[in-house]
Amino acid sequence: MSILQRIGNALGLRASEPAPLDTIPVDNRSVVLWTRPTTAVRIGAVYSAVSIIATAIEQLSIKVERAGQTTDTTPFIAKPDPDITRADWLHEITISLALRGNAYLRVYRDNAGLPTIARVLNPAHVQPWINPQTGRRMFTLADGRDYTTQDVQHLRLLKIPGEPAGLGPIQAAQHELTGYQELIHAGTSWVAESGSPSGILSTDQQLSKEQRKDLLASWNGVPAGRTRLLSNGLTYTANLISPKDAQFLESRRFSKTEILDLFGIPASLALGVDKGDSQTYSNVSQEWLGFVRFKLMRYVSEIEWALTELTPRGQRIRINLESLLRSDAETRMRIHAAAIEAGIYSTDYARELEHIPDTAAPKEPAHD
């Protein structure tokens, strides 16, 4: 702690030191397990869920609106961090929110106070806290200095009143995820450490101790997969544990479904639907629509808010979800045909919605 920070604490400017960056209090104890993203994403279902969310958001476009009308995108919005692409920038924010429930942008400004860079920080290197004297939100970064919201934009997934940090799905379900990892470990240990033989050699003949020893040595000396010759009336009975029993597949399958549900991922989107399940095109479309509107929107709205706060007053940032909400081509064409026939909009407007150039319009028949 710096001398200035000690003086500040002595004067009551801070109630207490922030909690260690890599611990989370759970049941009156500090838990490190799920605070590191590299630990959480080692679970296949978590990796899959987070990847789906990040991939969906990184491909979205951003537009600037003023008085409800789209205006030209500023260089800052086009590329908030000049060192990476905007897709990577969106990806890093989404990963931070999904794994930790928090994302932080270190904002750099020009002489006029306008933001020029908004760099995504590692959430493990940021400690949010609330100044007990002013009630303002503060952030301690890895350099040991304290920053205000002027320099750090804080995005939170689940906002709990009075809590400086947001809550993510991994932090909310630590016990369930820990149990899932223990289940995987138990299944692996069963195969490696149970001591159960892979098979049994038997015969109705009386064998001496030396004969038994030689037969076992001969059998075990042949590499797996090679052909073996059985003599002396020997028979071999496999004693393999089925994968279903060894890996507790039913329990793991149920836990995987719970994890996907925790992140709001439709089972059909994660290829988690059983072959026997009845999934129609309509059901899947509704699932995906609900996923976009009620799960992805939590991430999207946080990013929109953060960027809007960094733009001049009167402007608003919108993330275009059209590419995720669009139905299939055949359905869209039927909707356009019905709308044109009903006089709701013209063929030119339909081409604009589909990004079809005017040159693709049908030619007028030549008149004699």
54: burial class by Cβ within 10 Å (0-12, 13-18, 19+)? buried
pLDDT at 103: 96
pLDDT in tens, 283-294: 666 777 788 888
pLDDT at 303: 96
pLDDT in tens, 93-113: 999 999 999 999 999 999 999
Query: Tokens standing for 226?
Result: 């090679």
| Range of weakest confidence among 159-168, 266-275, 303-312 | 266-275
Quote the distance between the C-alpha of residue 24 and its chain's center: 20
pLDDT at 115: 95
For residue 270, what pLDDT band results from cuts at 50, 70 and 90? Answer: low
- Write the DSSP string, 30-98: EE-TTTSHHHHTTSHHHHHHHHHHHHHHHT-EEEEEETTEEEPPPHHHH-SSTTS-HHHHHHHHHHHHH
Distance between CA atoms of residues 106 and 93, nearest Å = 12
pLDDT in tens, 179-227: 666 655 655 555 555 555 667 777 777 777 887 787 778 777 777 666 6
Query: Tokens standing for 14?
Result: 């801070």
Angle at CA 295, nearest 5°, toward 294 and 298? Answer: 90
